Structure 1
Amino acid sequence: MAELLAGDLVKAENPELAALAARPYAPRSARPIWLQIYDRLADAIRQELVSPGSRLPGEVYLADLFGVSRITMRRALALHQNEGLLQARKGVGIFVRQRPRRFLIRNDMQFAESLLVDGGSISSKNLWLGRGRASAEAADLFEIPPGEPVIFLHRLRQLDGAPIYVSRKEFPISRFPDFEERYHESGSVRAVFRNAGIKNYRRSETRVLGGFASKEEAEILEISPQTPVQYVTSINRDASGKVIEFNRGCWPMASVELVFAIND
């Protein structure tokens, strides 16, 4: 009852969405009802009848608004979640994905500098810091035997509290034997590099590959499994050309626009 009363308030505050939902449906034989609802939700998002970053009304209210069952409404919402336009946050609700953020890829810029944000707040959350067997590519880049231990740092980046990017970094132990201690002191990879005598370094390579979120990635990024994502692999080298960092990151496809800048 409380949700339906809240729904009446939403209807009053957003008559355009209510009008979109009230349009007669085409025959089921032409297009299933749940896909027609999917189309209308897509129109509402494109026309910003629901604001980017805003929370959608509850499933019960939306089903009532569109005159369908909760199961039908759930199918339409799930498809948008799979495609990245909607984002479900556990225990909070379903949100409209923020407008794609521009991420400037240059060989001399850090993450916080590269993410072009107008008024947003970027924060980091460490997911895991420890040592383990190097990936095959990292071992080759660090010029160490396959399976040798390296330092791992898994980190989540958030924009205004919403997860937008997860990274899995590897570092050679020979260059940073006290990485964990130094990182705990500063919370900064750049500070660890400086402590090791590396004042200048650059990104020597960036690769982008499309894919679909794994169950683990989906849980971390608060998206549905198999949502389209962009995998970004980058390599950082010191002034002598030695590889000091191998990074593999994952962005929800709809959340970022990658901009490749040509340095002067």
Structure 2
Amino acid sequence: MPTRRPSVSLDSHVPLYTQIKDVLRSGILDGRYPPMSRMPSESELMSMFDVSRITIRQALGDLQKEGLIFKVHGKGSFVSQPKAFQNVTSLQGFAEAMSASGHEIINRVVQMRIVAAPVEVAAQLALSEGGSVVEIHRVRLLNRSPVSYEVTFLPEAIGKRLKRAELATRDIFLMLENDCAMPLGHADLAIDAIAAAPDIAQALDVKKGAPLLRIERLTHDAEGTPVDFEYLYFRGDTFQYRLRIDRERPAAGTSRVIRSRHKQSKNN
């Protein structure tokens, strides 16, 4: 009889299929099961974990609901490369939004330095031209794969209060609010598509010139003062920004005016 995996316990209060799902999920996230690779068959998993087929199917069903695998009739289950998304109707940091969806986020700090603010950055942050800012470059990894390259500019007085070690594990938004006691209010976003520059392409593991989604984001504190200006570069094959918009109803009386004009035109 196959040896049961140490991470799966009959004595645990966690259901067996959930334990198995977590083991397989970890294997997907750490690359043991690469994107588009075939997962072990149901029979192989039954032998691996020494459990029934129904238990394996429950575990695989949950992984499929999470978007981590997909099934091909007659061929089995395969690891998918799900496209993560962030809803831009609320102001959240990347890790804050992704963690809520069960994704694993790792930050790789490329550099953190004090520089003279470029003209556009100075204008956005309402600083005098050439004023000092802290410039931070980070690669954000989603489920162990690079998904975005972030270039952040903060006024020097604010940026110097952030610690490089903390930048490797936390969102800047949360650091501003919790460590700097600076409640955030709103952000202005501009979204476009660009070709990847060589350094960003290398950091995101894409070809030079590959299409990227670029976000310019200017964040203000609760008093309306600009405190954080960023260029966010996202791989288009792994990430989406989503937005819900509602149709505005005509102002009161507008429809009556339209109907009245229509009636007059018919009479004429």
TM-score normalised per structure 2: 0.56
1:60-108 CA deviation, whole Å, 9 max, x = no partner? Answer: xxxxxxxxxxxxxxxxxxxxxxxxxxxxxxxxxxxx9823211211343
Q: Name the residue aligned to 2:218.
A: 235
- 1:151 CA displacement: 0.3
User: Where in structure 2 are the equivalents of 1:45-84 lying within 5 Å?
Assistant: 53-54=35-36
CA distance 1:212–1:117, shift in 2 (3 Å):
farther
Give me the whole-angstrom Cα distance separating, in 2, the residues matched to 1:122 and 1:162.
9
Structure 2 residue corresponding to 1:196, chosen from 165, 180, 194: 180
Secondary structure of 2:156's aligned partner: coil
Give me the whole-angstrom Cα distance separating, in 1, the residues matched to 2:96 and 2:159.
24
Q: Name the residue aligned to 1:142.
A: 125
Amino acid at match of 2:110: L
Give me the whole-angstrom Cα distance separating, in 1, the residues matched to 2:91 and 2:219.
10
Larger Rg: 2
Q: Report if aligned partners of 1:129, 1:180 keep a CA contact under 8 Å in 2.
A: no
Amino acid at match of 2:108: K
User: Where in structure 2 are the equivalents of 1:141-220 lying within 5 Å?
Assistant: 141-180=124-163, 183=166, 187-189=170-172, 190-198=174-182, 200-220=183-203
User: Where in structure 2 are the equivalents of 1:82-121 lying within 5 Å?
Assistant: 98-115=81-98, 119-121=102-104
Amino acid at match of 1:220: A
CA distance 1:120–1:105, shift in 2 (3 Å):
same
- 1:261 CA displacement: 4.4
CA distance 1:118–1:140, shift in 2 (3 Å):
closer
- 1:115 CA displacement: 3.2
Unaligned runs of 5+ in 2: 1-32, 39-78, 247-268
- 1:116 CA displacement: 7.6
Q: Report if aligned partners of 1:52, 1:99 keep a CA contact under 8 Å in 2.
A: no
Percent of pairs with identical residues: 16
Q: Report if aligned partners of 1:182, 1:192 keep a CA contact under 8 Å in 2.
A: no
Q: Which has the higher contact order (CA 8 A, sep 6+)?
A: 1
CA distance 1:120–1:192, shift in 2 (3 Å):
closer
Give me the whole-angstrom Cα distance separating, in 2, the residues matched to 1:177 and 1:155.
16
> CA RMSD for the aligned pairs?
3.1
Amino acid at match of 1:195: D
Q: Name the residue aligned to 1:256.
A: 239
1:104-125 CA deviation, whole Å, 9 max, x = no partner? Answer: 1134322123338754311111
Q: Report if aligned partners of 2:147, 2:234 keep a CA contact under 8 Å in 1.
A: yes
1:147-204 CA deviation, whole Å, 9 max, x = no partner? Answer: 2220011111111211001100000013444334795798552224433331x20332
Amino acid at match of 1:158: L
Q: How many residues align?
A: 173
Secondary structure of 2:122's aligned partner: helix
- 1:137 CA displacement: 2.0
Tell whether 2:206 aligns with 1:223. Answer: yes
Unaligned runs of 5+ in 1: 1-50, 57-95
TM-score normalised per structure 1: 0.57
